Amino acid sequence: MEEKKQINRRQFLKRMGFTGIGLASTMLLDPITSVAGNVLKEDKKKNPNIKMTYRVNRNTKDSVSLLGFGMMRLPNTNRVINQNEVNAMVDYAIANGVNYFDTAPVYHGGKSETATGIALGRHKREDFFIATKLSNFQKEQWTKEASMKMYHDSFKNLGVKVIDYYLLHAIGGNGPNELKERFEDNGMMEFLVKEREAGRIRNLGFSYHGDVKVFDYFLSQHSKYHWDFVQIQMNYVDWRHASMKGSREEADGDAEYLYNRLTKLNIPVVIMEPLRGGRLANVPKDVENDLKAMRPDDSIASWAFRWCGTYPNVLTALSGMSKMEHVEDNIKTFSPLEPCTEKENSILAAAADKIEGYPTIPCTQCNYCMPCPFGVNIPGNFAYYNEKIDKRIIPLPERDAKDYMERAAEFKDGFHKALKVEEDATKCRDCGICLAKCPQKIRIPTQMSRIKEVLNA
Ligand code: SF4
Ligand code: SF4
């Protein structure tokens, strides 16, 4: 009964447009120190012009830039990473105070760690923190041998002796016994805890995508393993709308629930997908008009980053930057962070409701589902489709009955300029191989059918 009352209160607050910042703050036991508008002493000596905002990790006292560089969407040509561009972006980021770099063995088909190692290897080790992961997704990789190989390869690929932030990657998609079957039975948890004691791992945590019951179970083991940090998907849309599947109650699967659970336990939060796979940089026109009316000179993406940074238990917000202009704009946003006001939070709460009302596909462009054995460019199809939904170009039979065929023709014309014919949704054979790989639990073949319907109109 008591639990029911609390859920109703949360739902009431959401309907009233409160984003929960006040609520979260009152629950905070030990806020991460924020050094806004200034740099810590040792960084200031290096470059007095750096205005980056830092948060201090209460475990290791690292001063971490509130903007983290996600190395999963690096510039590339035909899937070959453009190392020179990566180097230039990393150099600019470090020169402007960014010091947290997040990669994983699976990113860019296994090439991200090496590219990250090359770019960072040109800098002093004390100028950056490196985060990487145990991406033993497939059951055949759950053996001790395969998991150990992945762990040791990360050190070699990155060219480091110590990993600052090490994560069990993409927790939540393998049922209630995931901790036991994937990390305990093979001895990896015991090994990683010993590695932390030996100082080769400085912070041990996990990234969460999936079933909230598994998230709760991992947190129940905090007294045993002491999670130094946890990475969650959090942005102003997912805060209010459950994107995680398998939740006990709808309200329990959203980012507000995840953040508040971690904050109550005093576990720092690393944010992934602050832009929801780039979609919050490219919002529907009516939302864009509302945001531009308030801050005409700011990019649309900056709103999403400022919203994330406003939460005091956030250690860093990762941005998967693929162009220098992304790096420049994001650094501007965080140098220093200007927290969102209550009025701005209300505007973003209304924007979240509007965005959620568009029938888009919740793809974050993570690429985990690739490659498709039949050549379908899964994220490419979904990105194009979502953009056209947001721009209201996509024809919906019930809404656009009058000009359905004209709109469908416009959609098709643009579609085949953006994507090769052999990569389009019509090539999907419904084999289902991609299904288990998607952390967002998207029914990929079903969603491909929506695109096929327009392409075949
Ligand atoms: S279901 Fe379709 S998109 Fe997924 S792997 Fe099979 S053919 Fe590719
Ligand atoms: S469909 Fe799923 S796995 Fe594939 S890119 Fe989108 S979110 Fe990632």
Q: What is the pLDDT of residues 29-39, one digit of tens each?
A: 344 665 543 34
Which residue's CA lies nearest to atom 4 of ligand 2? 369
Residues 278 and 398 in one domain: no
Taking 3-state DSSP, the helix, strand and coil percentages for the chain, each rounded to the nearest 5, stand at 45, 15, 40
Find the 403 Cα to ligand 2 centroid distance in Å.
31
Residues 266 and 405 in one domain: no
Ligand 1 near 375 CB (within 6 A): no
| DSSP assignment of 130-183 | EEEEE---SGGG-SHHHHHHHHHHHHHHHT-S-EEEEEEEEETSS-TTHIIIII
Which residue's CA lies nearest to atom 3 of ligand 2? 438
Find the 5 Cα to ligand 1 centroid distance in Å.
44
Decide which of 297, 317, 342 is a domain's last residue.
Answer: 342
Residues 250 and 396 in one domain: no
Whether residue 369 lies inside any domain: the answer is no
Angle, helix 300-310 to helix 342-356, in steps of 10 degrees: 120
Between 385 and 243, whose confidence is greater?
A: 385
Q: Which of 208, 196, 238 is nearest to 20 (CA)?
A: 238
Whether residue 10 lies inside any domain: the answer is no
Residues 239 and 308 in one domain: yes
Residues 338 and 382 in one domain: no
Whether residue 68 lies inside any domain: the answer is yes
Residues 167 and 299 in one domain: yes
Residue among 73, 361, 366 whose CB has most ligand 2 atoms within 8 A, to mutate = 366
Find the 421 Cα to ligand 1 centroid distance in Å.
15
| Over residues 361-376, mean pLDDT | 91
Residue among 372, 382, 384, 435 whose CB has most ligand 2 atoms within 8 A, to mutate = 382
Angle, helix 404-418 to helix 378-390, in steps of 10 degrees: 140
pLDDT tens string 72-92: 999 999 889 999 999 999 999
Domain count, the chain: 2
**What CA–CA distance (Å, rounded) separates 359 from 389?**
7
Decide which of 342, 361, 392 is a domain's last residue.
Answer: 342
Which residue's CA lies nearest to atom 2 of ligand 1? 428
Instruction: Please list every protein residue whose CB sits less than 6 Å from any atom of ligand 2.
Output: 363-369, 378-379, 382, 437-438, 440, 442, 444
pLDDT tens string 324-354: 999 999 999 999 999 999 999 999 999 998 8
Q: Is the dihedral of CA 295, 300, 304, 305 positive or negative?
A: negative
Q: Which of 448, 275, 261, 284 is nearest to 361 (CA)?
A: 448
Residues 308 and 428 in one domain: no
Residues 77 and 171 in one domain: yes
Find the 450 Cα to ligand 1 centroid distance in Å.
14
Residues 176 and 225 in one domain: yes
Query: What residue numbers bound the domain in which 446 lies?
Result: 378-455
Provide the CB-side half-sphere exposure for 451 (13 A, CA): 30
Find the 447 Cα to ligand 1 centroid distance in Å.
11
pTM comes to 0.83
Ligand number nearest CA of 277 is 2
Q: Which atom of ligand 2 is nearest to the CA of 362?
A: 7
Two structure tokens written together for 134: 């145990």
| Over residues 117-144, mean pLDDT | 96
Ligand 1 near 350 CB (within 6 A): no
Among the ranges given (16-30, 111-125, 141-155), the one the predictor scored with the smallest mean pLDDT = 16-30
Q: What pLDDT, on a 0 to 100 scale, did the predictor assign at position 343? A: 96
Among the ranges given (130-139, 237-246, 305-314), the one the predictor scored with the smallest mean pLDDT = 237-246
Q: Which of 389, 356, 372 is nearest to 445 (CA)?
A: 372
Whether residue 365 lies inside any domain: the answer is no
CB 338 within 8 A of CB 297: no
Residue 251 has pLDDT above 50, yes or no: no
Q: Which atom of ligand 2 is nearest to the CA of 447?
A: 1
| Over residues 435-446, mean pLDDT | 87
**What are residue 230's DSSP bridge partners?**
206, 269
Ligand 1 near 374 CB (within 6 A): yes
Buried (b) or exposed (e) across 74-101, using 16+ Cβ within 10 A?
bbbeeeebebebbbebbeebbebbbbbb
Residues 88 and 222 in one domain: yes
pLDDT tens string 183-241: 999 999 999 999 999 999 999 999 998 888 999 999 999 999 999 999 999 999 999 77
Residue 58 has pLDDT above 80, yes or no: yes
Residues 39 and 118 in one domain: yes
Q: What pLDDT, on a 0 to 100 scale, did the predictor assign at position 249? A: 42
Find the 259 Cα to ligand 2 centroid distance in Å.
23
Which residue's CA lies nearest to atom 7 of ligand 1? 428
Whether residue 401 lies inside any domain: the answer is yes
Find the 373 Cα to ligand 1 centroid distance in Å.
7
Q: What pLDDT, on a 0 to 100 scale, did the predictor assign at position 397? A: 62
Q: What pLDDT, on a 0 to 100 scale, did the predictor assign at position 7? A: 37
CB atoms within 10 A of CB 3: 8
Name residue 29's amino acid: L
CB atoms within 10 A of CB 106: 21
Decide which of 322, 342, 362 is a domain's last residue.
Answer: 342
**What's the alpha-carbon Rg for the chain, to the nearest Å?**
22
Which residue's CA lies nearest to atom 7 of ligand 2? 363
Q: What pLDDT, on a 0 to 100 scale, did the predictor assign at position 48? A: 75
Q: What pLDDT, on a 0 to 100 scale, did the predictor assign at position 399? A: 62
Ligand 1 near 442 CB (within 6 A): no
Q: What pLDDT, on a 0 to 100 scale, did the predictor assign at position 396? A: 65
Q: What pLDDT, on a 0 to 100 scale, did the predictor assign at position 171? A: 93
CATH code of the domain containing 24: 3.20.20.100
Q: What pLDDT, on a 0 to 100 scale, did the predictor assign at position 51? A: 93
Average pLDDT over the chain, rounded to an integer: 86
User: 242: left (phi > 0), else alpha (psi -120 to 50), else beta?
Assistant: beta
CA angle in degrees (0–180, nearest 5) for 80-82-87: 145
Which residue's CA lies nearest to atom 6 of ligand 2? 363
Residue with tokens 């059951």: 139
pLDDT band, very low/low/confident/very high, at 246 (cuts 50, 70, 90): very low
Find the 455 Cα to ligand 1 centroid distance in Å.
17
Residues 204 and 286 in one domain: yes
Strand, coil or helix: what is 383?
A: helix
